[in-house]
Amino acid sequence: MLKQKIEHFEVSGLSGFKSVELIKIKDFVKISDILKVYHVFITENKVDEETNRVFNILNNDIIYNINSNGFISVDDFDDADDKGFENAEDYVEAKKGGYHNYKEFVEFRQSGVIDRNVYKKAQKTGFVDNFDDFKKKLELNKKTIPEDFDINEYENSLKLFQFANERGFKDYGDFAKGFFLGFTEKIMMDEAKDKGFTYAKDYIAAVSMGFDNIREFQEATHLNIKNKIEFKMFDRLRKISKNIHGFDGAQLIEALKIYENGKRLSIKKISELIEQEKEKCKQCTSEKGIKELPEWYDLKLNTNADIEQFLKTCTEFKDYGFYDEDGEFFEVSRLSDTTIYIDGSNVAYADNGNKKENKPQYLNIITLAQHLKELRYKDIIVIVDASLNHTVADPLYLSTLKQSVQYLEAPGNTSADEFLIENAKKNKCYIVTNDTFRDWKAKDSWIFENIDRIRVPFLRNSNGTFSTPSLDLIKD
């Protein structure tokens, strides 16, 4: 049922009637409906030099009236009351601007926004309807409010919408989800999420420390590590220490790997070397600038006895040196990765069936040398007995062999094995041979400690080629 239209009439005055003055426009409209009187007479009432318009309903010699409060019609007055407007001026302005209620009108006016489409967008994206809830959440979550956000600057939903919109948030839900996790930038929130971060404070702290993933940042925080550079140092030492050597042991291994080849280091010298390496990890821990090892540093070599035991038992030293218990020194002995020796006589006699009638062959040595060149070795030295040339089945291949390798015969008063071992020992090189030098181990402590480290067994394949499995592993 349509609402009855109220007609308005301007009159100069009404007199001779009893008067009932109403306070609320709703009561005035209700009386109009009850009496079914829809003719309103408009009079003017002058008070203190101000002229007020008055709405009047006449029924049975009684006038029901109410101050118009500046409204032109009862309908506008009633509509304004429904929408929360307190005066006609705001109502008229809001009506011209197309605002639906007083709250909307005030927010829009306070925001300083000219285009009402902005307000419509704020409504559509949930900022208007959820603004009161947002303020309640602020009170409950003060500790999570981003540091760069001042609630006093965003006293209405439009300003909050503009803040969120300028920072890339698509709607209130998207904004609130990030905001109460500490994010005020959509792009930062997405970046943090991609890298596993939940809270902005963690992500910001991680970025400032140089971290780009949550796992490293959390581990660094737990270990009181200050930045990514320090974490890399920690992580590298952790990996090379393998959780068994300690970080000081790992640093010693790394230092000896590049120490001058052939040098002998006493326990005292090694202790000094360890201290030098530890200095690289020390940091200033006080205002006085005193450097100390960080809390995360795993220290195991505290005494000379610890160092000596480590040198004796650590298997990783075998690739670049050995500890002489009798002499109480560590000898740096890294094997060359470009020069290698071949036990020529041993290789020449290699065959498939190991038949007695098989004669040695230079071709075997040539084929093996080619295999070694394909690995990485540039300088190949072949040492043989002087008598080999008188027993080979293919003496004509000797000139070919000498073109591809350095060919040496043991001196007349020296065995080929002795000459081979001494040269390999001096030049820190591998020896390709299937001879185990069992007799020599009993004669020489160095050979006993190192021959298995420098000896490279070979295989002669059925197609005549050679392979050296242990060198293949080293190459990889």
Using left for φ > 0, alpha for ψ between -120 and 50, and beta otherwise, residue 135 falls in: alpha
Q: Which of 38, 70, 93 is the last residue of a domain?
A: 93
The per-residue pLDDT for range 164-220, each reduced to its tens digit, is: 999 999 999 999 999 999 999 999 999 999 999 999 999 999 999 999 999 999 999
Burial class (CB in 10 A: 0-12, 13-18, 19+), 424: buried
CATH of the domain at 48: 3.30.720
Residue 278 has pLDDT above 60, yes or no: yes
Does residue 329 fall inside a structural domain?
no
Instruction: Name the pTM for this structure.
Output: 0.60
Does residue 445 fall inside a structural domain?
yes
Q: 357 and 432: one domain?
A: yes
Q: 274 and 349: one domain?
A: no
321 neighbors 256 (Cβ within 8 angstroms):
yes
The per-residue pLDDT for range 228-268, each reduced to its tens digit, is: 999 999 999 999 888 788 999 999 999 998 898 889 999 99
- % pLDDT > 90, the chain: 57
For 135, the domain range is 98-184
Q: 121 and 198: one domain?
A: no
The per-residue pLDDT for range 110-136, each reduced to its tens digit, is: 665 556 777 788 889 999 889 889 988
Q: 82 and 56: one domain?
A: yes
Residue 380 has pLDDT above 50, yes or no: yes
Q: 456 and 358: one domain?
A: yes
Residue 281 has pLDDT above 80, yes or no: yes
What is the average pLDDT value for the chain, to the nearest integer? 88
Does residue 330 fall inside a structural domain?
no
The per-residue pLDDT for range 407-442, each reduced to its tens digit, is: 999 998 888 999 999 998 888 889 999 999 988 888
Q: 67 and 128: one domain?
A: no
Q: 273 and 218: one domain?
A: no
Q: What is the largest CA-CA distance in the chain?
A: 157
Q: Which of 56, 75, 93 is the last residue of a domain?
A: 93
| Total domains in the fold of the chain | 5
CA distances, 255 to each of 276, 299, 429, 446 (Å): 10, 16, 21, 23
372 neighbors 396 (Cβ within 8 angstroms):
no
Confidence of residue 371 (pLDDT cuts 50, 70, 90): very high
Q: 345 and 434: one domain?
A: yes
